[in-house]
Structure 1
Amino acid sequence: MKRGEGACLVCGQPLQYFREAREMECSVCHGKFKSYASCKQGHYVCDACHEKKGLEAVMRECGESGSKDPIHIIQTVMQDPYLYMHGPEHHVLVGTALLTAYHNAGGELDLAAALREMEARGSGYPGGACGLWGCCGAAVSTGIFVSIVTGATPLSGKPWSLANQMTARALDAVAQLGGPRCCKRNSFTAAQEAVLFTQENLGVSMKLPEKIVCRFSDENKECIGKKCPYYQKKWER
């Protein structure tokens, strides 16, 4: 199922979330997993199957883009039909867009290697963690970005601090906008904070658009409308 055809990738029905994980079988790969969500018809798609085609688009675009603006890169990738309204692919998208823009803005980086590492780390962060763990994957993606460009490890000094500061700053900005979750809103917000943080702390100046406008509100049944700083009515676009 392509983007915009419904929440469930099998039948299009809305998803429902559980307070405790249940064992489920992925409707695509038939693997058995513990999950907190399924559609109302009982269909479940694991994170790996959900994000597979979307990540192909993420890696392709970020590997080829010459833009210094991560929001532009993010919005370009989001047009792909397999980059769904919500999903764990955003946990990779934000960081890869930032790595690409950072490299294009003069940041010293082996971009190809960095993108592969971002995909590996970001893919390990589960969907739904924003509500279930209290830590949005888009914010975590900015922390991974800083970790990669600074070479941070659990034993690092300043790089370790910077990576955690980045996640905290992005997470606070995301949280201030309120719920319910929106992977588009959170991605824009986290990336914007990362651009400012990178200039302040790493001395690399990426670019941002004068105004960030979301083109996906019609696909989001939980869109908060005018409460979102990126919302624009369809007839105003």
Structure 2
Amino acid sequence: MDISKDCLICGAALSYRETAAEHLCNYCRQAFTANISCPAGHFICDNCHSASANELIKTYCLTAEATDPVAMAIHLMHSPQIKMHGPEHHFLVPAVLLAAYYNHKQKPSEKAAKLAEAEKRARNVLGGFCGFYGACGAGVGVGIFVSLITGSTPLAQTTWSQSNLATACALQSIAGFSGPRCCKRDSFLAILAAADFLHNVFNTALPVKQAITCEFFSQNNECLQTRCSFYTGE
């Protein structure tokens, strides 16, 4: 057995064995035969390993059956393509919300078109939007999500209001914390705000994990530490 590399998901030492075995990719959920294994059972196929951040997000959300958008976001955040900070979070937020919402509604066939449109819209939300435009991209991602599930347009009435209100609720939650930005913290806050909005406005309750423990603070040089509700220091 030759151990020479770490798992990109959990960091554990990977084992290379003489006999190949079947593994399920953690992102596309397809089965592959490989001689490599992680002691925690993680496996990333070559396609997902080389995919861009947005491609990986979209692939995972298309195949995932989960209904907890927070758990889905954390799973994706462990992939090497999702950096500590970056505009990929502007797509990650609406993507996991769309996937969880349509899985919950038992309408997974709706995900492909909605995710494609969410990705297109999220690309217009530039990096640094939070500080330079006064609107965190994760919060804007909530508005993208609500506009897509309601079919809102600039000429709509009720859904136009709902989309803007959803964004406002997410931004208010994000703004409740002092800067500097943290794409992980802001994404968690945006997703939680979206879940509350879904419950209060659309009477749709997603099984969202509320007690979030940040596993990424050591990668953030500007971490608020004890001033962040997701920080444990462990």
TM-score category by the smaller chain? 0.7 to 0.9
Alignment of 1:40-55 (within 5 A): 53-55=52-54
1:23-34 to 2 correspondences below 5 Å: none
CA distance in 1, matches of 2:73, 2:67: 11
**1:130-175: CA deviation from partner (whole Å, max 9, x where unpaired):** 0001000000000000000000000001000000000000001000
Tell me the percent identity: 40
Amino acid paired to 1:159: T
The residue correspondences of 1:69-84 to structure 2 (distance < 5 A) are 69-84=68-83
Q: Decide whether the 8 Å contact of 1:225 with 1:231 is kept in 2.
A: yes
Give unmatched runs, 5+ long, in structure 1.
Answer: 4-51
Instruction: Give the structure 2 partner of residue 185 of structure 1.
Output: 185
How far does residue 53 in structure 1 lie from its aligned partner after superposition?
Answer: 1.4
Matched, 1:145 2:154: no
Moved over 6 A (4+): none
> Aligned equivalents of 1:207 and 1:98: distance in 2?
12
What amino acid is aligned across from residue 202 of structure 1 in structure 2?
A: F
Tell me, yes or no, if structure 1 residue 57 matches structure 2 residue 35: no
Q: Provide, for residues 18-55 of structure 1, a one-character-per-residue CA deviation record: whole Å limited to 9, x for no partner.
A: xxxxxxxxxxxxxxxxxxxxxxxxxxxxxxxxxx7111
d(CA) in 1 for partners of 2:78 and 2:114?
23
- Other-structure match for 1:133: 133
- Rounded to whole Å, the distance in 2 between the matches of 1:212 and 1:120 is 29
What SS does the corresponding residue of 1:232 show, helix, strand or coil?
A: coil
- Map 1:1-237 → 2, pairs under 5 A: 53-106=52-105, 110-234=110-234
Instruction: Tell me the distance in 2 between the aligned counterparts of 1:156 and 1:148.
Output: 12
Quote the Cα distance in structure 2 between the aligned partners of 1:60 and 1:83: 14
Larger radius of gyration between Structure 1 and Structure 2 = 2
User: Shift of the alpha carbon at 1:203?
Assistant: 2.1
Report the AA paired with residue 137 of structure 1.
Answer: G
Gaps of 5+ in 2: 1-7, 9-50
Residues paired across the two proteins, number: 184
SS in 2 for 1:114: helix
